[in-house]
A and B are shown apart, each in its own frame.
Chain A
Amino acid sequence: MNRGGTTFWIGAILFLAAAFAMTQLIGNQYPFFACYVILQFIVLAIAWNVLGGYAGYVNFGTSAFFGVGVYTAVFLFKSIGAPLVVQIAAAAIVGALMGFALGLLTLRMQGIFFSIATIALTIVIETAITNWRYVGGAAGIQMQQPAPMAPFTSYVQMLFFVQALLVVLAVAISRYIQNSWIGRGLQALKDDELAAECTGVPTLRLKLLACVISGALMCAAGAPAAMYLQYADPSSAFNLNYSVSVLAMSLIGGTAHWAGPIIGAILLGATQQLLTVTISSEVNVLILGVMLVLFVVGAPEGIIGLIRKARGNRGEGEA
């Protein structure tokens, strides 16, 4: 393992240790509720970036994957009372399958056509869930959290820690992709798919892989939301806001580096949480729009781009 890898894993372990210590030391529940939401967005943004950032396929259907994750969990919980781990694992599998199907679509379409296909997919799936009475249908469904597993004393703390684990997993995967042949291949096909194909890059396999990973992570991130809310209804679970927020987070953070979506998700997620309990008005929605426009116009490479530029300027100009 090289030096960068060691530092990364030490960081990951420290992060998990800190998250675990929080659950054992802090009695106040609010930080867990608020941070859970932010962690969830981090996983979603990273997952989106695997396909959207590295491969350049813009997925508008984040909410479709998120919602399927939620409803996989709802279904398993209602039918067999499956524990959280099973819910998440099953959601990841379903997400991977869905990702595979999406990947097959990329065979025939690129660019905005792909994006529109993901919107269509979202609507089709949402309609199906809406008409599925067993999981509550349009009327929604209420569930009750079981007792938390030791050593956690409250369920939300457990969810928080589980979501922190998912963050580490997502970051590790996305970092691995970026630094391996997969990332270079995806970069090549993003720049020019035809050229990449001609030079022997296995574009189809790469695209399928990116779709499967991205889909599995998104669904896995959505699964715990069922137990977090103890309630699910299609219009909340498939809300367009997930798609747009995640897109915004990745772009604001910067899509070229695995750290970009994390920075974006923390920044935007924390801002939203903060605004909810301070301003509490339309301005909240306005912030998302204004930040999105400002960043794509002013800082096309996102915060990561700004940081690189700042470093570059300090060094040797353009280098």
Chain B
Amino acid sequence: MKRRTFLGGTIAVTTLGLTSGAGAQQAPIKIGMSMALTGGLAGGGKASLLGTEIWRDDINARGGLLGRKVELVVYDDKSSASETPAIYSKLLDVDKVDLLFGPYATVPTAPIMPLVKQRGMVLIGNFAFQVNSKVGHDMWFNVAPWGPADSWAASFLDLGQKAGGKTVALLAADQEFAQNLALTARDVAKKMNMPIVFDQSYPPTTVEFSGILRALNAAKPDIVYVASYPPDSAGILRAVNEIGVGDNVKIFGGGMVGLQFGAVMENLGSLLNGVVNYNSWLPEPTMFFDGTKAFFETYSKRAPEAKVDPLGYYLAPFGFASGQLIEQAVKAAGSLDQKAIAKYLRENTHQTIVGPIAFSADGERKENATLQAQFRGIVDKNMDQFRKSGKQVILYPAKLKSGELITPFEAARN
């Protein structure tokens, strides 16, 4: 143990010696992260990275952080859990990065949590879901709007109950994120005294959903909570359009991944109408904060060249906001001291382009800011319509609300 510290000390001293010897120019601040640039999560990962890159260019244009340039060190994790431990070890031990951002989504993030905790590094989480609940790292701060674990399902079921719904159907993909959502939905439904009349998971390779939907319809639920992934989200909505879901359904959707991405929404077009689904940011009047508009102007310009989602609402502004969080914390701490940065992040409310962010003890948002929004008046094959307000009306949270729920589901589809 002692020898290790001694060795580490000498290495630190030599690197310090080298950097100070290099001249007046100070070394850049390195921020390390892995990102899904290939594989299933790449669509979101690339957009998220562009958001962070816009922040980096922005802060460097403003003279950098603590007077030093900011540099991103990014490696591709192939959307997989098996790559990230080695990548974050490289970032920490070889690249010697000063700060860490998390990878996009839960699966690649989960394996690095113990490592990052052990090294005592601040980690800005990027849309992972409840990865810290078992690890308990007190320097984890998730930029995602999730909030407390059950608040997500609660907001949707609450909307359904207010619309007169009494029974719930759960349809979830057999994959980690969807299963976690279904898990909390079961608890919440129990608490709210709403019987679950249909509860099924389907394998991720399912191509055809009309059979599943018929079985669901036979249970005659009032509220249909769907937790699905991009390929199946499209399949489910198609089947809904063809088979119908019955007049008793008050509200449909909730946790469908994919309906946040421009290409998917453009493809689905009018099939989206009436669906109430979660989101993180939408171009509604209630969602513009200091710098939001400027960010999306830059993003729209750079998106075609970077070949990413032309809209980029779901992840990109949060990539930028991650940067803002770290910027404010480092400035307040006046150094790169991880403990001081964590303390500042934990104790303050931070103004970002996605609104004010405050963290609770587990590093998730204090308040659930996950939007539930209803698609309205969508036409086929038109990307630009989604840039207008009123196309996805925010029903929840109350602070950000921009309209009322249209119910039942069948009535909202036209």
Contact = CB atoms under 8 A, between A and B. Distances in A.
Q: Are chains A and B touching directly in their complex (CB below 8 angstroms)?
A: yes
Q: Bin the interface of chain A by size.
A: 35 or more
B135 interface: yes
A138 B175 CA distance: 5
B37 A280 contact: yes
Given A140-B176, A142-B110, A231-B110, A130 B203 contact: yes
Contacts of A130: 174, 203
Interface stretch (A13-21, A23-31, A81-89): A23-31
A28 B94 contact: yes
A299 to B, nearest CB: 27
A229 B134 contact: no
A27 B174 contact: no
Interface string B286-310: 0000000000000000000000000
B152 to A, nearest CB: 15
Interface in A239-286: 239, 273, 276-277, 280-282, 284-285
Contacts of A239: 80, 82
A290 to B, nearest CB: 16
Given A239-B80, A277-B75, A140 B107 contact: yes
Interface residues of B, number: 43
11 contacts: A30-B89, A30-B93, A36-B86, A37-B86, A138-B176, A139-B180, A144-B135, A229-B82, A235-B176, A235-B204, A280-B75
B65 interface: no
A29 B93 contact: yes
A131 B74 CA distance: 35
Interface of B: 1, 4, 7-8, 11, 37-38, 74-76, 78, 80-83, 85-87, 89-90, 92-94, 106-107, 110-111, 113-114, 131, 134-135, 173-176, 178-180, 183, 201, 203-204
Contacts of A145: 114
Contacts of A231: 81, 107, 110-111
Given A130-B174, A236-B107, A277 B80 contact: no
Contacts of B114: 144-145, 230
Contact of B135 (A142, A156, A225): A142
Contacts of B106: 140
A8 interface: no
A240 to B, nearest CB: 12
Interface string A103-147: 000000000000000000000000100110000011110101100
A301 interface: no
Nearest to B134: A142
A36 B114 CA distance: 18
A233 B176 CA distance: 7
A34 interface: yes
B227 to A, nearest CB: 11
B179 A33 contact: no
Given A280-B74, A281-B76, A137 B94 contact: no
Contacts of B85: 33, 156, 228-229
Given A29-B93, A139-B180, 14 more contacts: A27-B4, A30-B94, A130-B174, A131-B174, A137-B179, A153-B1, A225-B82, A230-B113, A231-B81, A235-B175, A239-B82, A280-B74, A280-B75, A284-B76
